[in-house]
Structure 1
Amino acid sequence: MSKYTKEDIFRIVEEEDVAFIRLQFCDIFGVPKNIAIAASQLEGALNNECMFDGVSVEGFVRSDESDMYLYPDLDSFEIYPWRPQSGKVARMFCNVYTVDRQPFAGDPRHVLKQVVEKAAKMGLNFKVNPEPEFFLFDYDDEGQPTTHTKEKGGYFDVAPADQGENVRRDIILNLEEMGFEISSSHHEIAPAQHEIEFKAEDAERTADMIMTFKMAVKTIAKKHGLYATFLPKPTEGISGSGMHINIVAQDEKGNNLFASENGEKLSDTALHFIAGVLSHVKGMTLVTNPLVNSYKRLVPGYDAPVNISWSSTSANRSALIRIPSKRGEGTRIEIRNPDATCNPYLAIALILAAGIDGIEKKMTPPDELNENLGRATYEQLRNSGYETLPMTLGEAIHAYESDDFVKEVLGESIFNKFLDAKRAEWKDFRTCVTQWEIQRYLNLF
């Protein structure tokens, strides 16, 4: 059932003195885009008449098919609490349609919608909650972001060691005004690193919430004179930032399908889901971990998964898939390799689709990882018998283009455009001479 009607939107805009509405969408890399309209133009937007030029959006369309329409999702209407309260600013997420009024195959939101609809036909409703991490750094004297911080806080520290406590508080209060249900927040393991976790929602809403979350964190941090970054590994020698994704599968009555009948073990559905994710995780990694920098985090010794494995032992955080300790209706599956630079629509779509593939084919997962390999070297990992995730963007590109399943889920348009862009990015990096190389080799050769 819909939350809002058109009449509701008109009423709220008038009662709340909303002056501008942002019609929001994103490109294939998850970079937010929007068209801002005045309240006087709202009727046309709600009638799906707002048009934009798709040529200007990364990965969208060619010049001969440039006209796109934005169809607002009425239930996503929210007012930005951090904007002026006189002449307020609101936003609605939009689905992208072609000029002949068909869903645009290159719209990431549409990709996730298709996966969710397939799951619904199978009697599956997925609830998803992410755990995004980020750093709060200083600006330099010219107002440019740096990777510097004077903070020395660590895991679960409090003020004054945790100098971002008030920033997190401000972020949470603003997000709660937008309907987020925040479950926890804390200082993370590295200096200036933080995590805010919000409760599980339907997959499509969760992806929207991740987009909103990242915007809110960056905007509010800047008001406090700090730069927020979701870059996975902004500083060497410390743990990086990830975005663990927790998933629950429910039936039409809301029962947890990942829990066994006695509630103590995992159900066959859960085991099939795990097997599906592990079978496709290499091909998905280019999407879940899309940057050159992402692979600086996925290395041994820094609390990020490296080996392709799973564990029902909640304390074993070296496994790619971990099963937290709650059982029964609290049973969930935690996928630990993604980071928050991913496009959340595409990343969640691929993870869910892989799990569905495992359920459909009744896949069996490999044996559990019973030892903690969090501090293992690559040699020790190889000797353990477990495969590893791609170690570079280049390896991830190769795995991506080799997995026909990923292409099927994303669609040919997104698959090829994403691949072309990442090949170009990897080429740029490989031709770049880094300071590490200069410092390492210049005095030797």
Structure 2
Amino acid sequence: MDKQRDFVLRTIEERGVKFVRLWFTDVVGTLKSVALAPAEVEGAFTEGLGFDGSAIEGLTRAYESDLLAHPDPTTFQILPWRGEIDPTARMFCDITTPDGEPAVADPRNVLKRTLEKAAEAGFTFYTHPEIEFYLLQSARFGDGGPEPVDSAGYFDNVPGGTAHDFRRRAVRMLEDLGISVEFSHHEAGPGQNEIDLRYADALTMADNIMTFRTVVKEVAIEQGVYATFMPKPLAGHPGSGMHTHMSLFEGDANAFYEAGAQYQLSKTARKFIAGLLRHAPEISAVTNQFVNSYKRLWSGDEAPSYVSWGHNNRSALVRVPLYKPNKGQSARIEYRAIDSAANPYLAYSLMLAAGLKGIQEDYELPPEATEDVWSLTDAERKALGYEALPSNLDEAIRLMESSELAAETLGEQVFENVLRNKRQEWVGYRAQVTPWELRSNLELL
């Protein structure tokens, strides 16, 4: 760590860095940032930077407000969108109390704790997200709703289109930040795009996702458009998910792979899937944390609404991708409910904890869904045992309230803060009179 700190200090001097931004998130996943002068960075390494945690959503209670942000030197990167004018760098932070203890309400620390539990069981957790988002003409909208930058569809090639230039610029910027991109393309909705990040350990990936969102927003501003990770910004068009491929490794060996097994899925993988399925409804208030998230899940646009798994079945909540011969190290599963607005630190913590619970308690994997789950009737789904995910945020909150897994994984303070934040959102939403209600009822009633 000392060598890494020395590297950071030396790079700041050699590259003429004028500002260093310290980044962390609140419980919702909103990025927080404070800029340091270069001369203050060494002191931040040794002592941390003090701030009022009670002013950050869910980070601490008012009577214990003093917290310290400790920059992680391994996350140091120069921000490419700043260019050569006042070069600026960033580092993610770990949050502690004044006596040096990790802050229990720090989302990054929640994920670290869960990863340590996995490590105690001999596992390293890797993730690979497919992140969808919309490009709009602006954040303003009229009666017709937000206006997308194009009317293209899935994998469409749009000569001279905004999305091409946008993706090229965003991908180059991500690569400059050391974030490897697997591929990018236009998605099914008008103005909707997807960029897939190459797999990494879950903590690195959660940091990468937060950086990714910032890059996408910055490139959009640069190109005169607006980017949104809202789960369902356009009625009648697909929502934006963050399908996440996951695998556990034991040392250098993929613990999800077993040659000769069905779909080459090991017993460990099958139990992990069983854990994800059993606990998916009760962690939905984190993986799908907004009122709007449930418009994506229940709008009929290929989002998974029912608890099921299948081999290459895109209607299933958990999909086992097509196996590539002689590539056992790439064995993985895909969780399809999580959306692009989730706090990755908390969501990945709960997804991992659910899978580990399945392994530790020897959960039995239910039968595979071989049919199109969406096309089944309610009676058929009930007969097959396909439980529904929550239909709205209120239902998700109620399920999470009684979840031992969520309470244990998040810790008491984060658990209560997430629930309080979500209850406030539901109360605010419930009090609204929507344009749909006015159109449907004003003249009729």
TM (norm. structure 2) is 0.95
Q: 1:164 aligns to what SS in structure 2? A: helix
Name the CA distance, whole Å, in 2 between partners of 1:34 and 1:225. 23
Tell me which residue corresponds to 2:76: 77
Instruction: Say yes or no: does 1:322 pair with 2:319.
Output: yes
In the alignment, is the contact (CA less than 8 A) between 2:264 and 2:323 conserved in 1? Answer: no
Tell me which residue corresponds to 2:45: 46
Instruction: Say yes or no: does 1:265 pair with 2:264.
Output: yes
Tell me which residue corresponds to 1:201: 200
Q: 1:133 aligns to what SS in structure 2? A: strand
In the alignment, is the contact (CA less than 8 A) between 1:81 and 1:178 conserved in 2? Answer: yes
Name the CA distance, whole Å, in 2 between partners of 1:420 and 1:49. 29
Tell me which residue corresponds to 2:26: 27
Tell me which residue corresponds to 1:438: 438
Matched residue count = 440
Name the CA distance, whole Å, in 2 between partners of 1:376 and 1:240. 22
1:42-441 pair list within 5 angstroms: 42-139=41-138, 147-160=146-159, 162-252=161-251, 254-262=252-260, 264-299=263-298, 301-311=300-310, 313-314=311-312, 316-327=313-324, 328-376=328-376, 381-382=381-382, 384-441=384-441
In the alignment, is the contact (CA less than 8 A) between 1:300 and 1:374 conserved in 2? Answer: no
Deviates more, 1:322-331 or 1:358-367: 322-331
Deviations 1:11-68 (A, max 9, x none): 1101111110011111000000011101111111111331111011001222221110
CA apart distance, 1:162: 4.9
CA apart distance, 1:375: 4.1
Name the CA distance, whole Å, in 1 between partners of 2:273 and 2:333. 8
Name the CA distance, whole Å, in 2 between partners of 1:9 and 1:82. 19
Deviations 1:390-439 (A, max 9, x none): 01001101111021111010000011111111111111111111010010
Tell me which residue corresponds to 1:6: 5
Name the CA distance, whole Å, in 2 between partners of 1:340 and 1:378. 28
Name the CA distance, whole Å, in 1 between partners of 2:221 and 2:60. 34
Q: 1:210 aligns to what SS in structure 2? A: helix
Letter in 2 for 1:357: K
In the alignment, is the contact (CA less than 8 A) between 1:151 and 1:161 conserved in 2? Answer: no
Q: 2:358 aligns to what SS in structure 1? A: helix
Deviations 1:62-109 (A, max 9, x none): 222111011111100001000131321001000000011100000000
Name the CA distance, whole Å, in 1 between partners of 2:228 and 2:139. 15
Name the CA distance, whole Å, in 1 between partners of 2:184 and 2:239. 17
Name the CA distance, whole Å, in 2 between partners of 1:212 and 1:239. 24
Return 5+ residue gaps in structure 1 as ranges.
none
Letter in 1 for 2:253: N
Q: 2:354 aligns to what SS in structure 1? A: helix
Name the CA distance, whole Å, in 2 between partners of 1:234 and 1:34. 26
CA apart distance, 1:139: 1.9
Name the CA distance, whole Å, in 2 between partners of 1:148 and 1:379. 39
Letter in 2 for 1:170: R
Identical counterparts, % of pairs:
42
Name the CA distance, whole Å, in 2 between partners of 1:55 and 1:352. 29
Q: 2:81 aligns to what SS in structure 1? A: coil
CA apart distance, 1:374: 3.2
Name the CA distance, whole Å, in 1 between partners of 2:382 and 2:217. 39
Name the CA distance, whole Å, in 2 between partners of 1:424 and 1:141. 25
CA apart distance, 1:340: 1.4
CA apart distance, 1:378: 5.1
Name the CA distance, whole Å, in 2 between partners of 1:272 and 1:51. 43
Name the CA distance, whole Å, in 2 between partners of 1:378 and 1:179. 47
Q: 1:332 to 1:52 in 2, by over 3 A?
A: same
Name the CA distance, whole Å, in 2 between partners of 1:48 and 1:138. 44
Letter in 2 for 1:319: A
Name the CA distance, whole Å, in 2 between partners of 1:11 and 1:132. 34
Q: 2:54 aligns to what SS in structure 1? A: helix
TM (norm. structure 1) is 0.95
RMSD: 1.9
In the alignment, is the contact (CA less than 8 A) between 1:322 and 1:335 conserved in 2? Answer: yes
Deviations 1:357-409 (A, max 9, x none): 11111111111111012345656544543101001001101111021111010
Letter in 1 for 2:404: D
Q: 2:155 aligns to what SS in structure 1? A: coil
Letter in 1 for 2:319: R
Q: 1:36 to 1:147 in 2, by over 3 A?
A: same
In the alignment, is the contact (CA less than 8 A) between 1:300 and 1:376 conserved in 2? Answer: no
Letter in 1 for 2:9: F
CA apart distance, 1:261: 3.3
Letter in 1 for 2:332: R
Letter in 2 for 1:158: N
Name the CA distance, whole Å, in 2 between partners of 1:79 and 1:105. 29
In the alignment, is the contact (CA less than 8 A) between 1:300 and 1:306 conserved in 2? Answer: no
Q: 1:248 aligns to what SS in structure 2? A: strand
Letter in 1 for 2:36: I
Deviations 1:91-146 (A, max 9, x none): 1000000011100000000110011111111110111111110000012789xxx7
In the alignment, is the contact (CA less than 8 A) between 1:153 and 1:192 conserved in 2? Answer: yes
Q: 1:5 aligns to what SS in structure 2? A: helix
Deviates more, 1:4-13 or 1:112-121: 4-13
Q: 1:68 aligns to what SS in structure 2? A: strand
Name the CA distance, whole Å, in 2 between partners of 1:376 and 1:262. 32
Deviates more, 1:319-328 or 1:25-34: 319-328
Name the CA distance, whole Å, in 1 between partners of 2:220 and 2:433. 32
Q: 1:273 aligns to what SS in structure 2? A: helix
Deviations 1:159-215 (A, max 9, x none): 238531100100000000000111000000111000000111011000000000000
